[in-house]
Amino acid sequence: MIYLWVAIIIVSVIADIATSLMLFVWYGVGALVAAILELYGFGFGSQVVAFAVVGSILTIIFYPIFKRKLKNIPKTLTREEQYIGTELVAKEDIDRNGRIMVDGAYWSVINEGEPIKAGNKIKIIAIKGTKFLVKGE
């Protein structure tokens, strides 16, 4: 039965790595306790109870703590999200749709305000699908 507990430990660690939830690893600790009990000659019923109790208690205690900690990790912005708030000068007139150059690449834009004339300042205010939403300054 030691192989069952080792398999549960491996699966729980892989599941937590894959999901980044820190939810399943606590049952891996319960499986470790059950494996230790088997080494000391305890019966399978005792091992299952220890697995369930230890895994459940650790999950109830530690999962909320890790969930709060994971919420506090700042989100990594995509390249496009980093451009929000950038102010540029329009190279061409933009009525409703158009394009702008940002860092050497052309991007499709949707104008969210009054028509923009070439040479006017514009600001990237959001992203909609694959297009920037812009507004004249």
Structural domain ending residue among the three candidates 71, 95, 121: 71
- Sorted by sequence, the CB contacts under 8 Å of residue 58 that are 6+ apart come out as 26, 29, 30
Total structural domains in the chain?
A: 2
**Does residue 131 sit in the same domain as residue 84?**
yes
Residue 70 has pLDDT above 80, yes or no: no
**Does residue 12 sit in the same domain as residue 36?**
yes
Domain of residue 131 covers 79-136
Domain containing residue 85: CATH number: 2.40.50.140
**Does residue 86 sit in the same domain as residue 125?**
yes
Strands 121-128, 131-136: pairing kind? antiparallel
**Does residue 33 sit in the same domain as residue 54?**
yes
User: What is the total residue count of the chain?
Assistant: 137
Q: Which of 7-16, 81-90, 91-100 has the highest mean pLDDT?
A: 7-16
**Does residue 88 sit in the same domain as residue 44?**
no
Q: What is the pLDDT of residue 58?
A: 95
Residue 115 main-chain phi, psi, to 5 deg: -55, 140
Taking only the tens place, the pLDDT of each residue in 15-66 is 989 987 888 999 999 999 999 999 999 999 999 999 999 999 999 999 998 8
